[in-house]
Amino acid sequence: MNLSLGIMTLTPQVTNEYFLEIAKRSLSYPIDLYLFSPQEISPLNETVEGLHFDRVTGKWEKDAFEIPEYIYDRTFYQYDMKSRQAKAVVQWLKNQKQFRFLGYGLPNKWHLYEKLKQTSLSPYFPETFLVSDVNHLLNLLVKHTDIIIKPVDGAHGFAVYHLVVRPNEILVRTTKKQGIVEQSFQSEENFLKWGEHILKQHTFICQKRLLNQTKGNAPFDLRILLSKDHAGQWREFQRAVRVGEENGILTNISRGASYLSYSDWKNTHELISWDFIEEELTSILEELPLLLEEHFSTLFEIGVDLIIGKDHSTWILDMNSKPGHKIVDALQPEKLSSLYKAPLDYCEFLSSQSLSSLKRGDF
């Protein structure tokens, strides 16, 4: 009997290219592929309405089916009611022993930091504070003068604020659709009012702003995509450099940053001591996935954001268990076929493993 693998997303659309390419490849695997939203699950009879990839027509077809045994979780939550409900269903699903996720996800940025700070990789994490209230925020700002605050459960550069103390003002900068928006506060009182308002909306963490500007004063970072192969072994799949807007804050591709080939970047930035940096990167990338799985839960792929500072220091800034795959498409199209096969290969591998080796995480 074929295995059943369901791609889970809040927006199951036949037009999604990544899903369609995986689906096409599924035909040469003993895997039946489905695409569904957690919102369409009825937990009572464990069925779901969605799409299944028809092996005869080679197309997504509407269908009602049993919840697939294997699940590739590609849900991206927002802060609305719909997301909250979907999250609860997914949590329920994760706790059901009869279903197996390719990856069980990562906890929020603060939990990640708290755990990883106690590991061998601790020197690579920028010091991070959980902002407890607006006076705490002001103290952190006065002490460090140039900081970034971002929601503990943020993604895609959402609600990332850059705060700077200047002689007679506090400058707050953030990224909106139209670009960078700045607000200057000349009195502590006004700043505190703003801070109170912002802290009501999300729980924030705070870090010193790392200096990661190019000569053109655009922020840049490294995005490395790690994933498991057909034997369940971690491998580096892709490495890219992301460059944000001039004078900008973010390097997220979803916020318009461009991406460049790592080797091209290296060749045009010869002054940087790449040998040293690469040695560090190698050891970080070897250890990180294993540490994450040891401390949290089983994963299938990880997108790691790394910043290389002006002083050539290397920092692990962010880890994503549901990374984007655009960088592969644009930079190494010859790898696309193996990108699309990866979830299928890994699903087959999982089916050969005993259930007891699975770590579902407890968050």
Ligand X SMILES: Nc1ncnc2c1ncn2[C@@H]1O[C@H](COP(=O)(O)OP(=O)(O)O)[C@@H](O)[C@H]1O
User: Which is closer to ligand X, CB of 181 or CB of 231?
Assistant: 181
DSSP 103-165: ------HHHHHHHHTTSTTGGGSPPEEE--SHHHHHHHHHHHSEEEEEETT--TTTT-EEEEE
Q: At closest approach, how far in Å is the CB of 137 from ligand X? A: 15
Of 317, 327, 347, 350, the one binding ligand X (CB under 6 A) is 317
What residue 326 binds from Mg ion, ligand X, none (CB within 5 to 8 A, per partner kind)? none
Q: Which stretch binds ligand X (CB under 6 A): 17-25, 79-87, 192-200, 247-255?
A: 247-255
What sign does the dihedral 227-318-254-104 (CA atoms) show? positive
Residue 222 interacting with ligand X (CB under 6 A): no
Judged by CB under 6 A, the number of residues near ligand X is 22
Dihedrals phi, psi of 153, to nearest 5 degrees: -110, 30
Q: At closest approach, how far in Å is the CB of 335 from Mg ion? A: 22
What residue 3 binds from ligand X, Mg ion, none (CB within 5 to 8 A, per partner kind)? none
Residue 318 interacting with ligand X (CB under 6 A): yes
C-beta of residue 112 within 8 angstroms of C-beta of residue 36: no
Of 207, 297, 298, 321, the one binding ligand X (CB under 6 A) is 207
- Residue 339, both tokens: 């990108």
What gap in Å lies between CA 66 and CA 47, rounded to an integer?
Answer: 4
Q: Residue with CB nearest Mg ion?
A: 318
Residue 314 interacting with ligand X (CB under 6 A): no
Total residue count of the chain as it appears in this document: 363
Q: At closest approach, how far in Å is the CB of 150 from Mg ion? A: 9
Of 158, 185, 274, 349, the one binding ligand X (CB under 6 A) is 158
Of 32, 73, 318, 345, the one binding Mg ion (CB under 5 A) is 318
Q: Which stretch binds ligand X (CB under 6 A): 9-17, 116-124, 151-159, 322-330?
A: 151-159
Residue 174 interacting with ligand X (CB under 6 A): no
- Residue 355, both tokens: 């259930």
Q: Which helix (H) or strand (E) holds 171?
A: strand 169-176
Residue 73 interacting with Mg ion (CB under 5 A): no
β-bridge pairing 204-208 and 179-185 = unpaired
Residue 305 interacting with ligand X (CB under 6 A): yes
How many other β-carbons are positioned within 10 Å of the β-carbon of residue 332? 16
What gap in Å lies between CA 110 and CA 89, rounded to an integer?
Answer: 24
Residue 9 interacting with ligand X (CB under 6 A): no
E-strand ranges in 210-330 read 220-228, 234-243, 258-261, 301-308, 314-320
- For residue 170, CA distances in Å to 14, 120, 133, 299, 358 come to 48, 37, 17, 41, 49
Contacts of 102 (CB under 8 A, 6+ apart): 70, 71, 72, 73, 300, 343, 346, 347, 350
Q: At closest approach, how far in Å is the CB of 102 from ligand X? A: 21
User: Which is closer to ligand X, CB of 205 or CB of 344?
Assistant: 205
User: Which is closer to Mg ion, CB of 71 or CB of 319?
Assistant: 319
Contact positions toward Mg ion, by CB under 5 A? 305, 318
Contact positions toward ligand X, by CB under 6 A? 126, 148, 150, 154-158, 160, 207, 209-210, 212, 219, 221, 249-252, 305, 317-318
